[in-house]
Amino acid sequence: MNEGKPFQQALGLRCQCLVIQAPDDLRVVEQAVGELAPGEVMVQVGFGGICGSDLHYFHAGGFGTVRIKRPMILGHEVAGTVMAVADDVQRVKPGDRVAVNPSRPCAVCVYCLEGLPNQCLDMRFYGSAMRDPHVEGAFRNLLVCDATQCEPVAGGVLLQHAALAEPLSVALHGVSRAGSLLGKRVLVSGCGPIGALAVAAARVHGAAEITAVDLTDETLTVARAMGADVTVNVATDTDWVQRYAADGRTRKGTFDVMFECSGNERALRAGLDTMRPRGIVVQLGLGGDVSIPQNMVVGKELSICGSFRFHAEFALAVRLINEGRVDMRPMVTGAFPLSRAREAFELASDRTKAMKVLLDFAAEIA
């Protein structure tokens, strides 16, 4: 601990964790909190956002080939307050409020040394069953992490907003894959949390015009609040593809850049129709096999570019939230105490009712 700091790590300190035991089996489990190693800090977690991958573990035990083989603490979108720091830590001090970066690349593999840490061969990403043993998550009221994972949250910023730095990072990484958006007409396809944040990220980075499409009016309302200029409910506006595919001036399509956030084949195909020659589709949404019209990709010389997680974008995300350049208020549907986690997960699963649902780790403790 830092000298002179009032807080002392109590022997036998314990925390409450949200564990996925098996599909549809969420449990709150108590666990000992470890001692701080050099460079580490202890964070009293304030809020944690429920992500799509958390929902996949909850409903189906995973997605694709990623499946839980044993119980795992969920969660990777958290912010809280530093309670204690190891003696050598300068970056933060007790009392600081921080967003916690859940991405922990190894910093020694070939990808880390190429500046692609999101492709790290030995990534330990919170709450992920990609490797076995699984990497435990951050849905717990006390979390020990590296100081370097902590980005300070500005005064006046709510922790439930800071907790959303992680999905904003994902969206920002998507924007970085598209190159400059100066003068670009942008389509955001799928307006769940990542799509809505892609709207915000594209707006901050100068997109000339942002059109957001989804199947529900509720998500489109949020997309507008996050900065979309135009929204289209593709469930009811069945002409939309034709309209944007045959734009008067360019005749081959309208959009320069598409952020595909649904992972849905029909959404991707419809979007391809509306893209301008040389348009860039950034694929953020995960799906399985999807069928694409190869002749159109060739004929219009489209690019489909995958975007996976993030790295440097996490600090940027916190900065944008700190400075009020991204306003997270429209994103938050509500927050539930840990004891009502199941309720929170069920609400989060209903896209007509929920954008981002959070767990409030301090609710019952305080």
Residues in the chain, total:
366
Nearest one of 78, 85, 18, 94 to 46, comparing CA atoms: 78
Q: Report yes or no: 76 and 52 within 8 Å, Cβ to Cβ.
A: no
Choose, by CB under 8 A, the member of 22, 29, 37, 110 that binds a second copy: 110
CB atoms within 10 A of CB 346: 16
Residue whose pair of structure tokens reads 């204690």 in the numeric block: 84
CB 158, min distance to a second copy, A: 22
| 38 binding a second copy? (CB under 8 A) | no
Q: Which stretch binds a second copy (CB under 8 A): 2-10, 236-244, 281-289, 357-365?
A: 281-289
Instruction: Provide Rg for the chain, Cα atoms.
Output: 21
Asked whether position 116 contacts a second copy by CB under 8 A, the answer is yes
- Where b means 16+ CB within 10 Å and e means fewer, 141-160 reads bbbbbbbebbbbbeeebbbb
Quick one: which of 59, 67, 93, 205 contacts a second copy (CB under 8 A)? 205
Binding residue for a second copy, selected from 238, 289, 352, 366, defined by CB under 8 A: 289
**284 counts as binding a second copy under rule CB under 8 A:** yes
Report which residue type is found at 289.
D
- Give min distance, CB of 290 to a second copy, in A: 5
Applying CB under 8 A, which part among 29-37, 78-86, 159-167, 177-185 lies near a second copy?
A: 177-185
Residue 176 contacts a second copy per CB under 8 A? yes
Q: Which residue has the tokens 């709150």?
A: 28
Q: Please, which residue, 82 or 302, has the CB nearer to a second copy? A: 302
φ and ψ at residue 349, rounded to 5 degrees = -80, -10
Dist. CA 284–CA 287, nearest whole Å: 10
Structure tokens at 10: 């109590």
Among 154, 208, 235, 365, binds a second copy (CB under 8 A): 208
In angstroms, the CA 322 to CA 198 distance is 18
Is residue 342 near a second copy by the rule CB under 8 A?
no
Q: What residues line the site for a second copy (CB under 8 A)?
A: 64, 107-108, 110-119, 121, 172, 175-177, 179-183, 204-206, 208-209, 249-252, 263, 268, 277-278, 283-308, 312-313, 315-316, 319
